[in-house]
Structure 1
Amino acid sequence: MNIEMIRAASARLEGHVRRTPLLNSPFLDDIAGRRVWIKPECLQHTGSFKFRGGWSAVSALDEDVRKRGVIAFSSGNHAQGVALAAARHDAPAVIIMPSDAPRMKIENTRGLGAEVVLYDRATDDRDEIGARLSADRGLTMIKPFDEPQVIAGQGTCGLEIAEQAAEHGITRADVLVCCGGGGFASGVALALEADAPGLRVRPVEPEDFDDMARSLASGYIERNSRVSGSICDAILTQQPGKLTFPILARLAGPGLVVSEEEALDAVALAFSRLKLVAEPGGAVGLAAALFHSREIEGDDVIATISGGNVDPDVFRMALDRLG
Structure 2
Amino acid sequence: MELISIADVRAAADDVAGTVLRTPLLPTAWDDELWLKPESLQPVGSFKLRGATHAVARLDPALRSRGVVTHSSGNHGQALAYAARAFGVPCTVVVPEGAPAVKVDRMRALGADVRLVQPARRLAEAERIVAETGAALVPPFDHPAIIAGQGTIGLEIVADLPDVDVVLVPVGGGGLGSGVATAVKALRPSAAVIGVEPALAADARESLAAGEVVVWDVARTYRTCADGLRTNLSALTLAHLRERLDGIVTVTEDEIMSAAGRLMRDARLVVEPSGAVATAARLYHRGELPAGRTVAVVSGGNAEAAVLAAALAV
TM-score category of the 2 structures, normalised to the smaller one: over 0.9
1:120 offset after TM fit, Å?
1.2
Structure 2 unaligned segments of length 5 or more: list them: none
Aligned ranges for residues 62-211 of structure 1 at < 5 Å? 62-121=60-119, 124-166=120-162, 170-171=163-164, 173-211=165-203
CA shift digits 1:153-193 (9 cap, x unpaired): 00111100111111xxx24x221101101000000011112
Deviation larger for 81-90 or 296-305: 296-305
Q: 1:127 Cα shift?
A: 2.1
Question: 1:42 Cα shift?
Answer: 0.5
Any idea what SS the aligned residue of 2:145 has? Answer: helix
Instruction: Pick one of 19, 27, 34 that aligns with 1:16.
Output: 19
- TM-score between the two structures when normalised by the length of structure 1: 0.93
Which shifted more, 64-73 or 208-217? 208-217
1:103 CA displacement: 0.3
RMSD: 1.2
Q: Which amino acid aligns with 1:215?
A: S
Q: Which moved more, 1:72-81 or 1:219-228?
A: 219-228
Report the Cα distance in structure 1 between the residues aligned to 2:38 and 2:190, rounded to whole angstroms. 21
Equivalent in 291, 297, 300 of residue 304 of structure 1: 297
CA distance in 2, matches of 1:127, 1:17: 27
What amino acid sits opposite 1:57 in the alignment?
A
CA distance in 1, matches of 2:289, 2:125: 41
Tell me the amino acid that sits aligned with residue 313 of structure 1. A
| Match in the other structure for 2:256 | 263
Query: 1:228 aligned to 2:231?
Result: no
Q: What's the % identity of the aligned pairs?
A: 39
Instruction: Show the counterpart of 2:6.
Output: 3
Shift of 1:138: 0.8
- Residue-by-residue CA offset, 1:174-233 (whole Å, 9 max, x unaligned): 211011010000000111122121222111111121111122223222221434232100
Post-superposition offset of 1:148 = 0.8
Q: Distance in 1 between matches of 2:147 and 2:10?
A: 12
User: 1:108 & 1:198 partners in 2: Cα distance?
Assistant: 40
Q: Is the 2:51–2:150 Cα contact (8 Å) retained in structure 1?
A: yes
Q: How does 1:44-63 map to 2 (within 5 A)?
A: 44-63=42-61
Alignment partner for residue 219 of structure 1, among 199, 211, 225?
211
Aligned CA distance change for structure 1 residues 275 and 2 (closer, same or farther; 3 Å): same
Counterparts of 1:94 and 1:53, CA distance in 2: 17
Aligned residues: 309
Q: C-alpha deviations, 1:80-139, integer Å up to 9, x for none? A: 000000001001000000110000000000000000000111xx5222211111011111
Q: Please, which moves more after superposition, 280-289 or 228-237?
A: 228-237
1:242-263 deviation line (CA, Å, top 9, x unaligned): 1111111111122110011111
Equivalent residue number for residue 28 of structure 2: 25
| Structure 2 length-normalised TM | 0.96
State the AA in 1 paired with 2:10.
R
Give, in whole Å, the separation in 1 of the partners of 2:183 and 2:35. Answer: 18
Q: Decide whether the 8 Å contact of 1:49 with 1:307 is kept in 2.
A: yes
Deviates more, 1:18-27 or 1:134-143: 18-27
* Mean Cα deviation higher: 225-234 or 269-278: 225-234
1:39 and 2:37 are equivalent in the alignment? yes
The answer (yes or no) to whether the contact 2:200–2:223 under 8 Å persists in 1 is no
Q: Which residues of structure 1 form unaligned runs of 5+?
A: none
Q: Distance in 1 between matches of 2:282 and 2:84?
A: 35
